[in-house]
Chains A and B, each alone.
Chain A
Amino acid sequence: MYLTKEEERMLDGEYGHAVKKSMEILSALGDIYGAEKLIKVGSVQIAGVSYHNLGDAGLEYLNGLAKDGRVRVITTLNPAGMDLENWRNLGISEEFAKKQNLVIEAFRKMGIIVSCTCTPYLIGNLPRYREHIAWAESSAVTFANSVIGAMTNREGGPSALAAAFIGKTPLYGLHLEKNRIPDVHVEVNTELKKFSDWGALGYCIGKNANNRISYITGIKEASMEELKSFCASVVTYGSKPLFYIKGITPGFEKYETPKEKITVTEEDIKKAYDEINDDTDTIEFVFIGCPHSSIKEISQIAEKLKGKKISSKVEFWVATPRPIKQLSDDRGYTKIIEDAGGKFACDTCVAVAPLKGRFKSLATTSAKACYYSRGHNLMKTKLGSLEQCIDAGVTGKWE
């Protein structure tokens, strides 16, 4: 990959340790993927924030970079392993909280905005159509590429940090128009009736299209929240962080319908539920907000929870970015949810909090949350509508 004179000096260490390490990472990735040069990015989203995933070694690595590393572009953070203010109420240990706070301090020192959300686009890190960005967090990467039409590869924690310290990323993969052409036509031959059907659809398309870019037809309507949920699911069960939905997402007009066709039927959606859902009658944990809830979703939860009481045997968490919780506080939604026995979990999520062994079963509206709770945290999972999840919270049972 071609490096400018200044970039060469960065690689030689003239700008310090963090910049040198970052240029090593970017130039190696550029060489591996045949990038011609580095290009400027408009923003960065960092993953790898939970102490649960980083451990002491990861913390030490971040502290090393924080000594002289300062971000050059707007940089936001993925969820941490706990609510940074209300962690005690969520049952997080003192020891974990101490370590998690050290991780956050290291990021803060680097000049990063401590947003701790997987939906940075809901709280001000919003790229424009065709803007180059370097984002980690697969659901946000998929949303940025597909729903907004920005351009980013699926970065990991360290490569996103490297892009933040340099303000650039190698020009390869989804930064090039030629790699954004859809490969497979997915015809959705069924009506999506409830919110969680979008997660089930993501499962079907992710599994079948896997590493190919799908061009989806047959969908007439989609809310931002439904698309957000679909993004999380399609990239969890598949791997390509880009799709098009005809008539809904930007850029679809530029392409012809691909010849190869996959059809998704009502039967496929039903099968997806069968595969995502485990065999369990009792529910110990309800989690809403994967990806983090919008203010509209919070209002729906409050409306449906009003006057109900969550069972004392169930933990009921609502995850959302902290600025959205402030709107919820003002509107009175927070009080309704908390009066019913629900808890707010800002800054964190079910995939990165230290939950292994705490709950045996989960009810959620998110297909992605099922994947991580099952795999890493050994819970039995149920995917369903918000109404079903609230009922499970009230009764402790999955009907």
Chain B
Amino acid sequence: MKGRIIFKGEVKGEALVTSQPISFYGGVDPESGVLVEKGHELEGKNLKGKILVFPNGKGSTVGSYGIYRMKKNNVAPVGMINKECETIVAVGAIISEIPCVDKIDILQIKTGDTIEIKNNLVNIKK
């Protein structure tokens, strides 16, 4: 699949997929990398080392620093794939230097798939 580069890079990892937007301020614990928002599809899941696949960010713009804190604590996703990226995730990816691609049909990806991000390309290896 071909998308749009938000922050360029090459990375391979296991997909963690949700159809729900994620808040990186209050919704994810920046110390552990665990998604803590009550009732979220990924509640209790650790984002560490995953290729995180979600439609877009939501909530407070402080979330960009939330992504950066995860990266510094070594609990950040190694890559992010969005349907439609917005300010919080884009800025978070750039300041944290996490490869990020958007304009991808995220429904094609399932949790557990091996994903390779190569700049604007996303390859799924089932």
Contacts and interface: CB of A to CB of B under 8 A. Distances in A.
B95 interface: yes
B7 to A, nearest CB: 7
B121 interface: no
Contact of B90 (A28, A56, A61, A157): A28
Contacts of A56: 72
A58 B68 contact: yes
Contacts, number: 75
A76 B77 CA distance: 33
Given A57-B69, A159-B91, A32 B61 contact: no
Consensus secondary structure, chain A interface: helix
B62 to A, nearest CB: 5
Given A31-B4, A158-B91, A57 B71 contact: yes
Interface residues of B, number: 25
A54 interface: yes
Chain A interface residue bracket vs B: 20 to 34
A57 B62 CA distance: 13
Nearest to B31: A55
Contacts of B61: 47-48, 136, 154-157, 159
B77 to A, nearest CB: 15
Contacts of A375: 26
Interface stretch (B14-22, B44-52, B81-89, B108-116): B81-89
A60 B72 CA distance: 9
Nearest to A60: B72
Contact of A157 (B26, B62, B71, B102): B62
Nearest to B30: A55
B62 A48 contact: yes
B42 interface: no
A56 B90 CA distance: 21
Interface in B63-107: 63-65, 68-69, 71-73, 85-88, 90-91, 94-95, 102
27 contacts: A21-B94, A25-B91, A31-B4, A32-B6, A32-B85, A32-B86, A47-B61, A47-B62, A48-B61, A48-B62, A48-B65, A55-B30, A55-B69, A56-B72, A57-B65, A57-B71, A57-B72, A57-B73, A58-B69, A136-B61, A155-B61, A156-B61, A157-B65, A158-B64, A158-B95, A159-B87, A375-B26
